[in-house]
Structure 1
């Protein structure tokens, strides 16, 4: 090859070959990790999902909990139970001061569908943004700024889902419409 007149004569430092081999090994290791993570824990077992009659990815479809309002029982009940545990164990003691007219909170928040939806979204964001492996060390700051503060402002303001709830009284129907528009149901003549 060195005698081939069509090839240019390059002087390549020996260290460059070692660097290239290191890069190849790093790329191979990362490729293996990505493959393992995207295929699940069975990646090394040699099982072929398509051969077993399953669509690829069926197993991973519900890896993370879906939005709570889209669930049916018993998944809804399980997700609500886990949400209650997080709200009562983390959110209430850590972030909620004494309720007032300007900062409402209903101890029966789990009976307010709007509160459930907002708190579940907040909890999903918390799960993602408090994991340094997933989002680095700025995740908690992002969670506070982009998720916690706006959520609590909406939930606790005087027109939020707890607007009809006071210290001694709980109302869950105060935000529901009184009349369903006629386009939503059929009337018998």
Structure 2
């Protein structure tokens, strides 16, 4: 046999392909863990249908699909207040001390960030992703890297940038009105005419 017919492995793999493969592995691990959890839950109570099982396992019925927490801006009080309190604990306990250096003209931060709706929305989204992607059982070892790349870095760029929600806030001065336009229709609220 001649070696001419044997193909050598291709070494010109596109940049980013390995990250994509690791992302896929993390997603598969997450889905596998979800299927296992649901299968175990159904096995514990075989006589109940899946919606009844989910309702009793969580204490009350979850309106959201799959039992995932809803986006914070879709919540009403007291659920919004509870979710905001938990978000504040995470931001002030993990994000601020670990990731946010002293604010500057190029990287703003408002100590009253929770009064900026845009900041609450972006930070809540980053927090939800952090909860999922820092669990090694579902995301393996690449979850935190994916969280930094896909969630934290873009969120902080938007929040701390020159046109972000803190653009009018300076050290020692909090201004929220600078970001609130007059009358703009909102998809979040519907007013009766």
Q: Structure 1: how far apart are the matches of 2:73 and 2:191?
A: 22
TM (norm. structure 1) is: 0.70
Cα offset for 1:73? 0.7
Cα offset for 1:142? 0.7
Q: Structure 1: how far apart are the matches of 2:191 and 2:39?
A: 46
Q: Is the 8 A contact 2:45 2:53 kept in 1?
A: no
Which runs of no fewer than 5 residues in structure 2 stay unpaired? Answer: 1-32, 56-60
Cα offset for 1:66? 0.8
Q: Structure 2: how far apart are the matches of 1:119 and 1:34?
A: 25
Q: Give the greater-gyration-radius structure (CA).
A: 1
Cα offset for 1:174? 1.0
CA separation of 1:185 and 1:139: change in aligned 2, threshold 3 A = closer
RMSD: 2.7
Q: Please state if 1:104 is matched with 2:102.
A: no
CA separation of 1:178 and 1:43: change in aligned 2, threshold 3 A = same
Q: Structure 2: how far apart are the matches of 1:111 and 1:60?
A: 27
Q: Which residue of 1 aligns with 2:8?
A: none
Higher relative contact order (CA 8 A, sep 6+): 2
Which runs of no fewer than 5 residues in structure 1 stay unpaired? Answer: 1-32
The structure with the largest helix share of the pair is 2
Q: Structure 1: how far apart are the matches of 2:105 and 2:140?
A: 37
Q: How many residues align?
A: 150
